[in-house]
Structures are given as structure tokens and as C-alpha cells.
Structure 1
């Protein structure tokens, strides 16, 4: 479907994760061993918050329909920018057309959202889903993807004040609509949401066989385990990532997020909570 990276920590050049790691996001766009599709060449996007900005400021956004491995502007930007929190996403289109407005991440005020997966038979469910979106948000929808529709549905259901609850309500509503329209297992994926300070990453699917999701292990522990690996010194203390698949093959560097779980990254620390474990 897609691959994505979410980073939070000391300000970092995105190129460190997107280009320079052994299994970087750009490398995954060409070859993704854990992805549903091996190649993710249907566009790229990156959203980032500027260092020192007050909470509540909107992130900057760059999106392109070119494959990530081919986009020269991406390389220039990823080396020039420094950010304490950024999202990046490579797309494998599952139906909606390849156009800039369909590239992730999606933005609303200070919020960003990205998704790896699919709302199955979205064309069948689309009208009913969009009718649930608040009118003021409906007019801001610029693309045609299931992901943007789900983002706006979650915003309608209170994302700004209750991210975990809003995502649960939005996904449950899609499942209700899917059941009413005889769509089997309508929701599949991993979802990342941020307000610029905290990252919420959800691993959930209606059939409870979701796409992969991992978070990085504590950097201090990794440096003690691997004192001779120079690339670990590139990251400041407290640097953490959540990813669709690991950015390196270093044993112990990444921990898989369990099925039907939300991983919360806040102030350099993780916590996990069950998410829709009792859903049908």
C-alpha cells in the first residue's frame, strides 16, 4: 500500500531517515520487503514543524507526484530543513489517481495525518462517509482518497480534543457503514496523527491482520549495545521514530507494535494502549 516514517526528538535533517539510513524511506519506495507492494512510486510527501515555534502552529508541507527516488527537490529539501517532528510518506496508489492532492500527509491547522492501508470498496462507502463529515471540513477536502476522508471524519468526531477516541469513533463509523453496505472488512492499515507535540500511531484492521508497524528502541540502550556503530551518534538523546518497517537491520533496534494497539510518543517516551480490541 504505502510506507511512512514519523520522527520526534531533537531537530534533525529529514535526510538522515529518508535517504541516509541502510533501509531508508526512499530505499523502501524502490524495495519494501514488508510492504503489500514492493514498489511505492506513486508520489511522496513530507510535513514538518519548525524548531522553536509555539505549539499550535501549522506544519509546512511538501508533496510531489514524482517517485521519491527520482525527486531532486526532495533531496534538496531533506538536507536543508531541520525539524523536531516530521512525517514522511511514499505512496502506492490503491485506486484514487496519482495527483498532488492525494499525496500524504494531510494537514488541517496544526494537525497532520497519514495512512498505510485502505478503506475497502471506498467507492461504495464514499457517499455515506462524506455525509458524516462536518460541512466546514467537507469544503477543505481537496483530494479523492479514502485516507483524507477518514482524516476529516476523525476531525469531525473530536480529533483535536480526544485523538484516540476520535479515531476509534471514525473507524467504527466506517465499519458500521461498511456493514450496512455489505462491505467485508472495510478498514485496513496503520495510521499516524500528530498535533505537533505528540504522535499517535494506530495499528488496526477490521479483520485484525493489519499492516506492520514498529517503533525505535531507546537510543541510549542501543549505543551501549552497539558502541562501534557511528550512525547512532547522528541522533540526539530522545530521538524516536515510528515506522511502517524498520530503517535498518540492526537487531533490537525496533519493536513491533501489537495488533489493535495505539502507540503514543510524547516527550521522547512511548506508551501503548489497546485500540478497538473488542471490535467485530
Structure 2
């Protein structure tokens, strides 16, 4: 889940919606697994440009520290992720979101054939960035490939080149359809999103309708009063069942959310 808008308490985002991310960690309806209990993480922006992160390997539904923290953190930009491991260890460094300088990154999906491709992918990471890799996941490595290919200067192009490189390496190792991803990333000012898989059967991703239109559709929902006019959610699963609120990201697309400007465009990997 990603949120951008007026500052809001993290607990209003994490715990209060009917199908909140905490509920999804136990009862996912659209994910690859029903239970996502292999850790969690949240990231948010407060003082300065570098985001704060809190991660744990405990299930999100069973972490009292998360509930305490969420009742005190108020932020205009919030990332949250619940994890179901696709093969790498359950450890704090493998929990999302991943952070580098002012950037956060979350990934839902997997790089198929990761064990076969791992060496080639890792040696492509910029040497100055390599020592900052903390964990062992394909998700974090994809982040550092995007950083290597210019994420701070050109997020759309950098992710396209990173995914193109993964597919090139996959072909060299006879890996069919190596990329499966929905990705969210932010520099603290804008948020970028990507939905793509090599076989064009990507996991779900939704974005919220403009809040003014949502209020017109559902004046009975008091919680909408907490959200400012620029409020926008992007989620793997809708947080509650409200008609007209959720729009599915098109297959093979990318988008950006920033104050005063939202955009969705086609996404195509680029062989770097």
C-alpha cells in the first residue's frame, strides 16, 4: 500500500479500513498466497528528506510495536508492505520497503530463475552502490539495478532498463518469463508505480479515484473527511468495497503520482 496526500496517522491507513493491509496479511483475496506472515515493513517521510523505516520478521497482525508506532506517526507519504517469501530467508533485511538515501522501494512478485541469474544480476550493480545491499532478495536487487540504471534522474527509464536487463539475463540462462512485478517507489515527493510481467499476467494493482469524486459517490463514509484533495492510494488489493473508488492499473503500464499531476503510460522493458 502507498499513500500520498495530507498528513494522516499511520493507523488510519494500516488498521482502520475494512480490508486493511493488516487484514490482507491474514486474508489476502487477490494475492499469490492468502497469508502474508513472513514479516512486514513501513516507510514514511517526516523531518528531512531521508525516510524512516520500521521492519520486523513477525507477522504484521501480531506486532504490538507496529500498533503503538502507527498511533503516533503522522505523515504525508506512507509505504507499507506485508511479505510472503518466495524462497529467500525470513530476516529483517529482506523485508520491504527497501531504502537508499531518499528513495523507498516495494516489490510484489518474483524474478523467476533468480538463483540461476543472481550472479550476473549482482555483478551489474554499480560498485559504489553494491556495498549498500543488505539482504538477499530478488526485490532488493531489482531496486539496486534500477538505481544503477539511473532511477534518481529517470524513474520510468531506469526501471524499464532494469527489467530489460533481467529479461536479457533470463534469456541467457534459458529462464522463461523471468519478470513478475508490481513495484512502488518514491523519492519523498512523487510516487512511481509499475505493473509488468514477462508473460503479461501480472499480479493486481489498483489506484484510487480523485477524492472529490469519491466523496460525491460516498458521502456516508466519514473517514473520507480525513483525506485532503490530493489524497491518492495505490494498493495491491482494494482497502474496502466501495463502488467507483478503485481502478485497476492496466497490464504493462507505469504511473506517477505527484501534487497536481497524475499520469499512466505504457511500460515496455528496454534492453540496456
- State the TM-score, normalized to the length of structure 1: 0.94
Aligned with residue 234 of structure 1, among 226, 236, 241 = 226
Deviation at 1:150, TM superposition (A): 0.6
Aligned with residue 191 of structure 1, among 158, 183, 186 = 183
Deviations 1:47-98 (A, max 9, x none): 1001xx45xx110010000000000011111110001101100000000010
Q: Does the CA contact (< 8 Å) of 1:260 and 1:277 recur in 2?
A: no
RMSD of aligned C-alpha atoms?
1.2
Separation in 1, partners of 2:248, 2:269:
17
Q: Which runs of 4+ in 1 moved over 3 A?
A: none
The aligned counterpart of 1:106 is: 98
The aligned counterpart of 1:47 is: 43
Deviation at 1:277, TM superposition (A): 7.4
Aligned with residue 35 of structure 1, among 31, 34, 39 = 31
Deviations 1:228-252 (A, max 9, x none): 2212112222111100110010111
Q: How does 1:201-280 map to 2 (within 5 A)?
A: 201-267=193-259, 269-276=261-268
Can you give the 5+ residue segments of structure 2 that lack an aligned partner in the other structure? none
Deviation at 1:278, TM superposition (A): 9.0
- State the TM-score, normalized to the length of structure 2: 0.97
Q: How does 1:75-90 map to 2 (within 5 A)?
A: 75-90=67-82
Separation in 2, partners of 1:15, 1:263:
26
Can you give the 5+ residue segments of structure 1 that lack an aligned partner in the other structure? none
Aligned with residue 173 of structure 1, among 165, 169, 182 = 165
Deviation at 1:274, TM superposition (A): 0.6
